[in-house]
Amino acid sequence: MTNETTIRQSLTSRLSDLRANTIIIDDSDKLKLNGVENGILIVYATWSELAIANCIQAISTLYKSDYSGKLLVIDIDVMTIDFQIDLLGNVCHGWGEIFLVLNGVITEKYLGKDSYHNFKTDLDNKKHSR
């Protein structure tokens, strides 16, 4: 079973269905941010319950808000440390880290065990400030 299959099964067992804008990436060579105009990258860890919870909550929240940008989900285990530093600017630690991408550039990062909570708080604050 590939990483993509494992992640897809894990996510679909907790969500009713994955939407067309959700892309599961099973190989770091396939992760290209330069073509992403508006997107969110979630670094998933199949071995971390908190990463799973943060990932599921982030996707559910975005689905409820009818988010139309790309949702990229990648397993931390397919990225080397050097790749993470080069692309993300830091090493992920299996918390379900969330990265906002605008025109191919990471504009915001939500790291650590509170990644989802901080992401949701910012999302709510932006919604109320409109």
Residue 85 has pLDDT above 60, yes or no: yes
Confidence of residue 72 (pLDDT cuts 50, 70, 90): very high
Which residue bears the tokens 């804008």?
21
Domain count, the chain: 1
Average pLDDT, the chain: 88
First to last CA, the chain: 44
- Phi first, then psi, for residue 109 (nearest 5°) are -130, 140
Contact criterion met (CB below 8 Å) for 62 and 71: yes
Instruction: Please report, for the domain that includes residue 70, its CATH number.
Output: 3.40.30.10
Structural domain that includes position 64: 3-128
